[in-house]
Amino acid sequence: MTSIEQKEADPEIPDLIVDNTTGTTYVKGRFFGKGGFAKCYEITDTKTNKVFAGKIVSKKLLLKSNQKEKMMQEIEIHRSLHHDNIVQFYGFFDDPNFVYIVLELCRKRSMMELHRRRKTLTEPEVRYYMRQLMLGVLYLHEKNIIHRDLKLGNLFLNDDVQVKIGDLGLAARIEYRGQRKRTLCGTPNYIAPEILNKKGHSFEVDVWSMGCIMYTLLVGKPPFETKSLKDTYGKIKRCEYRIPTPLRRSQQAVMMIMSMLQGEPSKRPSVKELLNHPFFSCGYLPPSLPVSSLTMTPRFDVIENEDALLRKPLTELNSGANHRLATPGKGPSSSPSVTRVPPARNMHEERLHHMHKIVIQLMKVNPQIVLDSPAEDQSDPALQPLFWVSKWVDYSDKYGFGYQLCDDSVGVIFNDCTKIVLLQDQQNVHYFEQNGIESYYTKTNTPSHLEKKMKLLSYFLRYMTDHLMKTGESVQRDCDRLSRIPYVTFWHRSSKCVLMLLANGTLQVNFMDHNKLIICPLMQAVTHINEEKVFRTYSLETIEQKGCSRQLLGCIDYVKRKLRSLISLENDKLGH
């Protein structure tokens, strides 16, 4: 087949998408990813400038009658739903080549990406997410709809970090009381035993899946996960899973999980009963969470101290797969807004741990294919970083290294190896001593010995932005105070680049030719920003298998060499 014939066979999605039934025109924007039959893009209404997610399916994939029927059933069910915790359906239309579904845009991706970045969550976070999930599922069940594919990848997050249940491709209506569905469907790690046993299933399968989700969020992996599908299905049928020792300390969480993961469907509680479970009332349930919680553990010590709860705060510091429990000590002030947290581990060792992890991953990337221009759908936007350095200034000949993150928070690494960060709300201040001990203040409640450093922070901020810092106090939300951003913990400058390591393990390398790399070892992905500021994220596995541009390959090779050199220097410091 010639290239012309191939183009005719596979028409491209147009840049301007027109709904002829309403006259609405959408501009196709960023590619969000693909899955199953569909590709997803950001689309913007040209009249209102409102932004949506466009789920786009080629009609060539809907040639069989059952495929059309399945898609129309998904549309029919989804368009009937209106709930805060379900992705909003806005409409659908088609043209000769594609079917377009217009949906609510969830910019913070799915909870699968949250899981990959954080591994395990704290109990307050699990209460927050599970309650919203259950409210959405309760709404579905009250409308006689079973979702049948509840999993982390189908739970989306909007800008306010609110749960939105999506992808109703396997959803089904219960037409009459006692009806049991018999279709074999679901995702292996979340599928209920009655589906595998083909005994017929109903609403209880969603309760089972929520039990698997809750276990995964608290433990870091699904309860029945094995290396083979056969073994996983065997464990599900036998209802065979283990409660790890750390989780056993949380009695109400264990009881709730066990109530959902029962082999006999009739023994599982209803969603309404689950919402009244003591797990939701036995500890703090945050009304909101900061965006930073998608990559760093929130600071629940602040809220718990203020509420005088008589239990240890769950401020589990998170970095990769290493989870430590930290308890706040007394700060320099008796104010409840001041907390001191001991360092998680030796800072040099922490730095080496992150660098080693990145080098090991990059060493496996040796693509045999060099591409002039990688295809758009070769990228994986779901893996793109949440935080990166948007501006930096090197004033280390006098004071230190200043930077601004993409969320407008600002930090400085001083020449004495202390660090200070002013969060996006321009009220909360985090200070890190040379040994890594963290102290938390508000801007109006910093100790006198930090006065000079606060002034220098303001100086760096003025230098990096076009306007002065805002004066006056802003209204603080709980999620602002809970935030713990991935500050820059280490930097290095050479003649070719500036290298910056963030506290969550992300490595950013800004080359002097204006190319940039952002490497996330947790997502095993690399983001390349070229001179034209084109922003593309690729999984390392995709680069290895399908190749990459010569420019990106050169950047990766340089970073490998530079990191090995820095690791050697760090080892010399430690006397290894």
Q: Which residues are part of the catalytic machinery?
A: 149
Strands 438-442 and 428-432: antiparallel
For the CA atoms of 246, 248, 249, 250, the dihedral, rounded to the nearest 10 degrees, stands at 110
What DSSP designation does 87 have? Answer: P
61-98 as b/e: b if 16+ CB within 10 A: ebeeeeeeeebebbbebbeebebebbbbbeebbeeeeb
Contact 59, 99 (CB under 8 A): yes
Helix (H), strand (E), coil (C) string for 544-574: HHHCEEHHHHHHHHHHHHHHHHHHHHHHHHH
Looking up tokens 């807004």 gives: 337
Angle value at C-alpha 157, between 202 and 170, nearest 5 degrees = 30
Strands annotated E in 367-471: 370-371, 389-395, 400-405, 410-414, 419-422, 428-432, 438-442
Strands 98-103 and 51-58: antiparallel
Q: Which two structure tokens, joined as six digits, stand for 366?
A: 């040796």
C-alpha–C-alpha distance, residues 350 and 378, integer Å: 33
Between the alpha carbon of residue 124 and those of residues 24, 51, 258, 280, 334, the distances in Å are 43, 32, 19, 9, 25
Which run of H or of E encompasses 73?
helix 65-78
Contact 295, 319 (CB under 8 A): no
Contact 282, 468 (CB under 8 A): no
Backbone angles phi, psi at 558, to 5 degrees: -65, -45
Helices (H), 289-387: 300-306, 347-363
Helices (H), 377-507: 451-464, 478-482
Angle value at C-alpha 198, between 196 and 200, nearest 5 degrees = 115
Q: Which two structure tokens, joined as six digits, stand for 73?
A: 């059933």
Q: Which two structure tokens, joined as six digits, stand for 144?
A: 């006689």
